[in-house]
Structure 1
Amino acid sequence: MAHNDKLSVTVRRSELGRAKGLGAARSGVHHWWMERVTSVALIPLTLWFVFSVLSMAGHPQPSVAHWMSHPLVAVLLIALIVTSFQHTALGLQVVIDDYVHQEGQRMIALLVMKAVVVLLALAALLSVLKLAI
């Protein structure tokens, strides 16, 4: 190899990645990882919740409310709510990014979706906190 020859590096990205300017240093990888992290976190939380609800079947409402007021149960319910709504927002963002092509409409759809997700998450959190306190 001659002294003036330069090594060339080939970067392989999809056409969409090149068009959006998304590469390894952009938010695409972070978004992908957060979807996976929330998915993994939801497995034990969902199994715990389903098992708990099934074991409480037939119990009167005051008994269920008393169960929810236990600090560990309340913390696990809050973790389930936060993780579920975060995972939902991440998934819906991908759908909107993939299927809404006009920038203005995409921004409006993302803002509306995130507002709805936050409001629903707050309502769920308030419900747990109201029973837990």
Structure 2
Amino acid sequence: MSASNSGTGHFLEMTISSVVLIVLMPIFIGIVGPKIGEDFEAVTAYFAKPVPAIVTALTLIITLLHFKSGVTTLIEDYVSSSSRKVWFTFTAVVSYLSIAIVIFTFIRIAL
């Protein structure tokens, strides 16, 4: 694969995730916003419902994937080649670990 194909794929990935986040963020804010300040039991009962849980988890997961893609671009552009692999690995671990925590949390709330 040539460099231009990689850049095009990355551009499409970032564009698609940006558009999806533009749609999801107002919905996410509408779902999460009213629950700020409520007690723990009310919030967990609310997020045990499928729609708030799915929208919130989807928003967080897509945000973390968008973060990973953006940080990868920053590393490619600004980090010296000797330490890139370490930073790529670190970014992937942090992103995927965060996604796993989001998924685990919503499964735990649902059960």
> Do they superpose with TM above 0.5?
yes
2 CA distance for matches of 1:84 and 1:113? 14
**Paired letter, 1:34:** E
What number of residue pairs does the alignment pair up? 110
The answer as to 2:9 corresponding to 1:30 is yes
Q: 1:40 aligns with which of 12, 15, 19?
A: 19
Match in the other structure for 1:98: 77
Q: Is the 8 A contact 1:45 1:76 kept in 2?
A: yes
Structure 1 residues 49-74: Cα deviation after superposition (integer angstroms, max 9, x where no partner): 21222212332211111110111222
1:24-77 CA distances to partner (integer Å, 9 max, x unpaired)? xx2110111110111111122221121222212332211111110111222112
| 1:75 maps to which of 35, 54, 61 | 54
**What percent identity do the matched residue pairs reach?**
22
Structure 1: tracts of 5 or more residues without a match? 1-20
Q: Where in structure 2 are there 5+ consecutive unaligned residues?
A: none
On the 8 A contact 1:68/1:74 being kept in 2, the answer is: yes
Structure of greater relative contact order (alpha carbons < 8 Å, 6+ residues apart): 2
Query: Greater share of helix residues, 1 or 2?
Result: 2
- Residue identity in the other structure for 1:126: F
Q: Which residue of the partner structure matches residue 120 of structure 1?
A: 98
Q: After the TM superposition, which parts of structure 1 deviate over 3 Å for at least 4 consecutive aligned residues?
A: none
Whole-angstrom CA distance in 2 between matches of 1:60 and 1:130: 18
SS in 2 for 1:129: helix
TM superposition score normalised by structure 1: 0.76
Normalising by structure 2, what TM-score? 0.89
Residue among 75, 97, 110 paired with 2:88: 110
- Distance in 2 between the 1:81 and 1:128 partners? 11
CA distance in 1, matches of 2:65, 2:33: 25
